[in-house]
Structure 1
Amino acid sequence: MEILGKNVAEWGIAIKQKQWFIPDTLSVGLSNHLIDLLNKVLPENLYQPRLEIDDGMLGVMYGNGFHFLYNNQANNNLGSDGYDNYQAPTSQGNQLYSRRLWVKGSINFGANIVRASDQLNCIEKIDSVRRLGLSTFVNINRDVTTSTNASVLKEARTLLYTNEPYEFKPMRHSFPNFTFTQEVKLTSSDLLKYSMLTYNMHKIHIDKEHCETVENLPNVIVHGPFMVTLLLYWFRKLYPEASIESINYKNLEPCFVDESFTLASVQKSEYEHNVSIVNVQLGKKYFDGVIKFRQM
């Protein structure tokens, strides 16, 4: 434990001195592939037509979780779990942890609307490294701007690194009277498509054998970003005239493929909604967050 702590501390000092520049270009084609996937998994009343190159909707969709399609890792240095190790705790090139989980995040969307072929410049930095027991939390800040330096979004992501296998902890949540709900069920092919669209090779989303034998997970799990996208996209359909300013969220427990779940919301005020992803029958709460609308 002392050696692990020393290695993490040394890595943390060095990694916080770095930053990464990840350029990308806003694409109608890539966004349409995600629309096709969302149209498959959501009911007909939430149908979204494919985008045209000049219809002005591309920038709107970017603010509904479509930003996860862009400015992604290069996948040049994969860890044993399939994900890029460029921001993972290491010592002399060797990974210190066998598992990683996306545990929470926040996104603040700028008021600037982006359009097809706009350049998206992302600067990533490690904000903090915090050890808790045998695990380590890594907080990442991302700042995305256009080629003219107009702010598009500011995002924070927190990843948990651990060598502890998954352990099921039975807990039944109670739930409020939701304002809106929408049931969803994803298949393994849906997760594979989302992994391909977001250049995400993390095995916990696509490799059941890895999940069972290495991570003690009973099945592959839904991506954290996919759940954020589903909620933001659903909210735009519920409130088409509103502009989403921000979302803050936590991933509370794994959401396994082929397990039905419900997108749910409770309106707190005119501009603020509590959102969650739950399975009421099982008493499970996978995701908890707050969406705020921009005050017009």
Structure 2
Amino acid sequence: MTKISKDIINNWSNLIRQKVFKFKDTNSIGPQSNLLTLLNQILKITTDKYEISSKNWFNGFNFLFCNQDNVNVGSDGYDNYQAPVDSNNHQLFLRRLWVKGDLNFLQPSPPINSSLECIEKIKNVRFINENVFVQIERKFYELLKINGNNEKSSEDNLKLIENRVMMYTNQLYHQSPPPTEDSKISIKSDEKISIKFKISPIDLLKYSMLTYNLHKIHYDFKYAHSIENLPALLVHGPLQITLLLYYFQHKYPNLTPKNFTYRTFQPCFCGDEVGIVIEKLSSEVGVKKLINQFEQKKEDGETEEEVFFELSLINVETGKAYMRGKLIC
């Protein structure tokens, strides 16, 4: 493997940030129906399969569409089209991890069977302590027919903007020290935990198939353990986001999300007992910071009141957070 230097990363960064990646898809009912069934099985929720199709994209269902082509897969099984490489296109890092991101919901979900286009760009690359952090922006458009068959995207039909940060590293997984207070939920009783569940290997395989995700850490235990030193299969970052947003919508069906900003703290492993904690934030708890991070555009004269929540995916036994995010509705 090529010796990694700041110059190599800078050269790759200068090239990759000039590129624009475009993926087309169809907002079909099949993948959404199958994902809805999977989520209901994991969370043990009984509901009409098509009941919330008009709000699916507020629940993380955008992760089903406009995904990578898997043409140039790396040693870990995932597509290397945005992974740091040297001048000979050789892979530089063994592992990639989901770090943080946000979802900005600009319009209602696209109609079923509408044409979609995702325009994807690398916004930022940072080289820190031999690791590389890559920020990716993904804009989802509903394609509108112009003059018959020609389809066009424009800012008027921009549905959603997703940002994600991936970390590329050659460090193997090792057991973390006890969680800090920042990553713990103070639980005096089970009252704060809205729901408890476990995610099985079959659940992860189904989600990998639905999202065209060939990353081996989600379905190949032999690879995950022997190569990356993981104790169990890893739960996808997008699946964790989707579980939080979908369960929130189940509890608060009359609220419409506008923005969800999150970060990961610890890996979530298959077989862990997982809980979801939903807390409504007061004006004294993080709301001022949220307002500074996210400015909601309003029409003249509109006086809509925003509501703020903190959503956490936690380990029931230890109280540590796998993922935590701030949601604005």
> Same fold judged by TM-score > 0.5?
yes
Taking only aligned residues, the RMSD between alpha carbons, in angstroms, comes to 1.6
Note if 1:103 corresponds to 2:70: no
Contact 1:58 1:114 in 2 (8 A): no
CA distance in 1, matches of 2:107, 2:260: 14
Indicate yes or no: 2:65 matched with 1:70: yes
Relative to structure 1, the CA distance from residue 216 to residue 226 in structure 2 (aligned partners, 3 Å threshold; closer, same or farther) is same
1:230 aligns with 2:237: no
Aligned residue runs from structure 1 range 147-166, under 5 A: 147-148=143-144, 149=154, 150-166=157-173
Question: 1:39 is paired with a residue of what secondary structure?
Answer: helix
Whole-Å separation in 1 of the counterparts to 2:127 and 2:35: 36
Check if 1:144 corresponds to 2:140: yes
Deviations 1:245-273 (A, max 9, x none): 11111111111101111011111046111
Mapped contact 1:276–1:286 kept (Cα < 8 A): yes
The Cα shift of 1:5 comes to 2.0
Give CA-to-partner distance per residue, 1:84-140, whole Å, 9 cap, x none. Answer: 000000011100101000111100011234111111111000001001011000000
Query: Structure 1 residues 282, 289: CA separation in 2 closer, same or farther (over 3 Å shift)?
Result: same
Bigger CA drift: 251-260 or 79-88? 251-260
Q: Deviations over 1:147-196 (max 9, x none)?
A: 13311100101000000101111214542357552112010010000000
Pairing of 1:58-207 with structure 2 (within 5 A): 58-91=53-86, 92-148=88-144, 149=154, 150-172=157-179, 173=181, 174-176=184-186, 181-207=194-220
User: How far apart, CA to CA, are the structure 2 residues paired with 1:59 and 1:48?
Assistant: 15
Pairing 1:210–2:223 present: yes
User: Letter of the aligned partner of 2:46 in structure 1?
Assistant: Y
Is 1:279 the counterpart of 2:315 in the alignment? Answer: yes
Partner residue, 2:148: none
2:8 match: secondary structure: helix
Listed one character per residue, the Cα deviations across residues 4-47 of structure 1 (whole Å, up to 9, x for unaligned) are 3221110000000001011111011111111111121112xx32
Partner Cα separation in structure 2 for residue 35 and residue 255 of structure 1: 21
Q: Quick check: 1:266–1:274 contact (8 Å CA) kept in 2?
A: yes
- Asked whether the 8 Å contact 2:273–2:316 carries over to 1, the reply is no
Q: Which structure's residues are more often strand, by fraction?
A: 1
Q: Does 1:292 align with 2:305?
A: no
Moved over 6 A (4+): none
Q: Deviations over 1:205-236 (max 9, x none)?
A: 11111111111111111000000000110011
Gapped runs of 5+ residues in structure 2?
A: 145-153, 283-305
Native 8 Å contact 1:77 1:85 kept in 2: yes
Aligned residues: 287
CA distance in 2, matches of 1:194, 1:89: 26
Partner of 2:254: 241
> Following the alignment from structure 1 to structure 2, what is the Cα–Cα distance between the partners of residues 230 and 210?
26
Asked if 1 retains the 8 angstrom alpha-carbon contact of 2:4 and 2:92, the reply is no
2:112 aligned partner, one-letter code: A
1:17 aligned partner, one-letter code:
Q
Contact 2:267 2:322 in 1 (8 A): yes
Contact 1:71 1:122 in 2 (8 A): yes
Question: Which structure has the larger Rg over C-alpha atoms?
Answer: 2
